[in-house]
Structure 1
Amino acid sequence: MRPRKLLRIARWEVTKNAGGIDRKTAAIVGVTLLLFGAVAPLVVAQGGVAIDQGIYRVGVDEESPLYPVVEDDPTFAIRDPGAELGEEIDVRVSFTRAVSSGTTKGEAALSELRSSVTAYNDRVMRGEANQSAAFPVSVTLNYVERDVQIGPGGSGDGGTGDGTGDGTGGGTGDGTGDGTGDGTGDGSTGGGGTGDGNAGGNIGGGLPSITGSSGTTGAPSDIAPPFPFESLVLAFLFVLPLNFVIQAYGSTMLSERINRRGELMLVSPVTRADIIGGKTLPYFAGAMALEVLIVVGIVTLLGAEGGLFSILAVVPLVLLFLSATFLGAMFARSFKELTFVTVAITVSLTTYAFVPAIFTEVTPIALVSPLTIVVRDIQGASISLSAFGFSILPPLFTATLFFGLGAGLYREEDMFTQRPIPLKVLDSLAGRIKRARSIVVVVAMLIPLVILAELVAVAAIYPVSTAVSQTIWLSLILLSIVAIEELAKSLPVYAGFVHNRYDRSLRSALVVGAFAGLGFFVAEKGLLLVRLVFPDSLPEVQQSAVASAGPVADIGPLVAILLLLAPLLLHVVTAATSAIGGRRGRRGYAVGLSLAIAIHFAYNYTVVMLFVS
């Protein structure tokens, strides 16, 4: 790329009404985003919005000791205590006695009033000078990670521990992860109590914490599994603006094709990289400006020390949204089709970025999303270099891949024709194939997308581990990984046959399949280097590690060499199987791919069950 030409194209993109949006609409969208960016940090700082404000009507007079409780809780709406019970009020308070209307809503209001009284008393007691007298019992609850082991007869073991005198809970070792500890205490006023805590029982880590801590300390009434509202809001804040940006970006890229404006660019003395980079730069800069504004606003209002990690972590996410939209705009044949493509991109990428980041403390699977780094950074939690790299590298490499595939379609043959999307997918892959050996590079190039797809698949299947048997859960994970890998190996080969890059003989299919398997094997083994660099982040990604990161059983050197070379043979055989089917057309490809998936699954399942303990 040449910076001067890139900046000139970027300036043209801004000044010519980018995305086909008129000035009035652009102004409205800009004001909306700015207001959202200004108000949302306030919501986070205040702990959220009371969506049930005034839902319960309570009749209480000012002389009642419960009046301050009702007044402080936005859930209640104060009414005249003489009003008719059931029709005008849900609960009537007579001094300290509360009576419900007897309806379902009245009973719910009475239960909420009891909780409010407890919370109000706790707030009053926290204001006392002698805290040991105010809270004679203190409970410290630490969540213990459960070690899951899968193999022949494998089972989950809970953490072990004993309840101490201060109320700290310990887990039992029977796999249930439940334990209780009793503690008593007394202060200057006397008194005692008991505290109990639950530990373990969580697959993959502790319960979500909006403070970034793995433990909870306080009075027994304070101990409760926290709902990750702050994590939810923070994740939502960073994703929503991107959906506005990609709408305009996708529209301007499709306009280059529908209105044939891109034809002038293609014949100008600039490269495709200059054109794509120049057109993308304004939208990337605008999206990053909004994200930085949100980070600065939240950090300022919350008084957090973070910010830098948050900004850096958002960069690959912005690039991923833009690259997927660019590729989708190259596939779409009309604005109506682009709408469906954009919606699919928005839903899938928002799910990928949003859902794992909500539960930042539940499991290392949360690190799939870069927003997990953002949430942890803003909450003041420590972030290791391995965790940071593990979160940002897959989406960064995937964005590079999407831009590369889209650039393969940024030519007259594909931009100004109405070819179906599946055929354009094959065009983008076949554009990189020149000879049989080219398939090695093309398949290896798809590895970032394979990693990202596998991470999302594992994150989606992980929660069902508590609802199904371990065998079914493991089979679902292995099957999803196998299907993704076989598609990545076989699609470029099939694209080569469709575009007549290879002849359709059996010998040609075997050779091309062998090269595809070799390319995937080399790229896959390159992940071993990543695992050495990020040893704490990858154990739940690949097959044996996904099965719970158990170590390989004691094996000899010959078996170790066999296990190293066996994947090469596996990838060559399965890729050749798909290639043999692909040379016969679409139906043959479907049959060959299904057979390759079955072979790959049988191999992986056997290896995991035999060697993971």
Structure 2
Amino acid sequence: MASRSFKELSFVSIFFSTLATSYLFFPTVFANTHVISIISPLTLVVLDIQGDGFTAMEYVYSTVLFFATSIILFYVGITNFREERLFSEKPLTSRLADFVSAGVSRDHPHLSLFLLAGFTIPFVFMAQMLTLVLFFNIPMPLSLVLLTVSAAFIEEFAKSIGLYAVARERPGFLTPRNLLLAAVAIGSGFLVGEKLLLFATLAQITESIFGSVLFLSLQVLWMPLLLHITGVLITGGFLLLWGRQGYGPGLIAACTVHSLYNLHFLMGALL
């Protein structure tokens, strides 16, 4: 639906199939050695072949992110299955922005942004779990820094896509008042979504030092909420002042603040 040609279709298909394959196979390498392997359903296959079996909760750990992302993508596909979307000649990035903005109601934009932020959580966790596996064997100081920065970038990008898409489609929407309300809505939705999914599925992962890097900011509610709101305000502020050209620098600035926050808490926890 997002592709205008077979070339774009091939790129999108191969890119996402590579990500999905990596997510499935990389964690399996650590089967029987580290709890991180349980994020992949293939680990359950390995355990079953070995005769060890697995519990119902381990099945939930391994599959809930796939079910959640599939349901959300199915909903997005239904919402955008319209003629003006299917036959659009816009560039790929513009079409993807249109897909996101289609889910933001004109009558209740802040509620839509709240829900959209919550719906991004399964994708954020899948991306963060993939980076966790990729950096697992790198020496400890460097791996923690890389994981901290990548986790911050993934979260800030996910929180900003809804605001960016709306600002791109409706330039008059982004006012100081709407930016503040949108930041509160997105920050709250993101915090609620990650809390629910974290408590429901990823308790075992957070027990490891690498998992704590990803989720260390969830220990005190008001602090991550303030962090999420601040990140959206930074990115949105750049968009407000410099338009779409300010999105990249704003995202980098928000990622920097988020990374410094995580590193501050991480250094305190390790010391």
Structure 1 length as normaliser, TM-score? 0.41
Secondary structure (helix, strand or coil) at the match of 1:333 reads: coil
Give the match for residue 157 of structure 2.
487
What is the alpha-carbon distance in structure 1 between the residues aligned to residue 46 and residue 154 of structure 2?
A: 29
What is the alpha-carbon distance in structure 1 between the residues aligned to residue 209 and residue 185 of structure 2?
A: 25
User: What is the CA distance between 1:462 and its match in structure 2?
Assistant: 0.7
Q: Aligned pair in 2 of structure 1 residues 542, 525: CA closer, same or farther (>3 Å)?
A: farther
Q: Does 1:454 align with 2:117?
A: no
> Which one of 582, 585, 601 corresponds to residue 259 of structure 2?
601
Secondary structure (helix, strand or coil) at the match of 1:433 reads: coil
Structure 2 counterpart of 1:536, one-letter code: Q
User: What is the CA distance between 1:368 and its match in structure 2?
Assistant: 2.0
Secondary structure (helix, strand or coil) at the match of 1:485 reads: helix
User: What is the CA distance between 1:501 and its match in structure 2?
Assistant: 7.1
Give deviations 1:367-414, integer Å, cap 9, x for gaps: 221111112112211312222211111111111222222223211110
User: What is the CA distance between 1:510 and its match in structure 2?
Assistant: 2.1
What is the alpha-carbon distance in structure 2 between the residues aligned to residue 576 and residue 545 of structure 1?
A: 23
Structure 2 counterpart of 1:519, one-letter code: G
> Which one of 168, 182, 191 corresponds to residue 498 of structure 1?
168
Give the match for residue 518 of structure 1.
188
What is the alpha-carbon distance in structure 2 between the residues aligned to residue 596 and residue 463 of structure 1?
A: 28
User: What is the CA distance between 1:536 and its match in structure 2?
Assistant: 3.1
Q: Does 1:401 align with 2:72?
A: yes
Give the match for residue 197 of structure 2.
527
Secondary structure (helix, strand or coil) at the match of 1:585 reads: helix
User: What is the CA distance between 1:542 and its match in structure 2?
Assistant: 7.5
For the Cα contact (< 8 Å) 2:144–2:213, is it kept in 1? Answer: no
Aligned length: 266
User: What is the CA distance between 1:545 and its match in structure 2?
Assistant: 5.3
Runs of 5+ consecutive residues of structure 1 not aligned to the other structure: 1-329, 553-559
Runs of 5+ consecutive residues of structure 2 not aligned to the other structure: none
Give the match for residue 228 of structure 2.
571
Q: Aligned pair in 2 of structure 1 residues 502, 517: CA closer, same or farther (>3 Å)?
A: farther
Greater relative contact order structure (CA < 8 Å, 6+ sep): 2
Q: Aligned pair in 2 of structure 1 residues 592, 537: CA closer, same or farther (>3 Å)?
A: closer
Give the match for residue 175 of structure 1.
none
What is the alpha-carbon distance in structure 2 between the residues aligned to residue 352 and residue 375 of structure 1?
A: 15
Structure 1 counterpart of 2:244, one-letter code: R
Structure 2 counterpart of 1:511, one-letter code: L
Q: Select the structure of larger CA radius of gyration.
A: 1
Structure 2 counterpart of 1:369, one-letter code: S
What is the alpha-carbon distance in structure 2 between the residues aligned to residue 513 and residue 537 of structure 1?
A: 29
Give the match for residue 174 of structure 1.
none
What is the alpha-carbon distance in structure 2 between the residues aligned to residue 359 and residue 417 of structure 1?
A: 44
Q: Aligned pair in 2 of structure 1 residues 354, 455: CA closer, same or farther (>3 Å)?
A: same
User: What is the CA distance between 1:424 and its match in structure 2?
Assistant: 1.5
The within-5 A match list for 1:8-407 is 330-407=1-78
User: What is the CA distance between 1:511 and its match in structure 2?
Assistant: 2.0
Q: Aligned pair in 2 of structure 1 residues 355, 543: CA closer, same or farther (>3 Å)?
A: closer
Between the aligned residues of both structures, percent identity stands at 30
User: What is the CA distance between 1:600 and its match in structure 2?
Assistant: 0.7
Higher helix share: 2
User: What is the alpha-carbon root mean square deviation over aligned residues?
Assistant: 2.3
Secondary structure (helix, strand or coil) at the match of 1:382 reads: coil
Structure 1 counterpart of 2:116, one-letter code: V
What is the alpha-carbon distance in structure 1 between the residues aligned to residue 135 and residue 63 of structure 2?
A: 22
Instruction: Decide which moves more: 518-527 or 485-494.
Output: 518-527
For the Cα contact (< 8 Å) 1:464–1:473, is it kept in 2? Answer: yes
What is the alpha-carbon distance in structure 1 between the residues aligned to residue 186 and residue 25 of structure 2?
A: 34
What is the alpha-carbon distance in structure 1 between the residues aligned to residue 73 and residue 15 of structure 2?
A: 15
What is the alpha-carbon distance in structure 2 between the residues aligned to residue 515 and residue 542 of structure 1?
A: 29
Q: Aligned pair in 2 of structure 1 residues 407, 541: CA closer, same or farther (>3 Å)?
A: farther
What is the alpha-carbon distance in structure 1 between the residues aligned to residue 171 and residue 61 of structure 2?
A: 37
Secondary structure (helix, strand or coil) at the match of 1:418 reads: coil
What is the alpha-carbon distance in structure 1 between the residues aligned to residue 270 and residue 200 of structure 2?
A: 21
For the Cα contact (< 8 Å) 1:486–1:593, is it kept in 2? Answer: yes
User: What is the CA distance between 1:425 and its match in structure 2?
Assistant: 1.3
Give deviations 1:217-259, integer Å, cap 9, x for gaps: xxxxxxxxxxxxxxxxxxxxxxxxxxxxxxxxxxxxxxxxxxx
Q: Aligned pair in 2 of structure 1 residues 520, 456: CA closer, same or farther (>3 Å)?
A: same
Give the match for residue 585 of structure 1.
243
Give the match for residue 265 of structure 1.
none
Structure 1's consecutive aligned runs of 4 or more residues displaced over 6 angstroms after TM superposition are none
Structure 2 length as normaliser, TM-score? 0.89
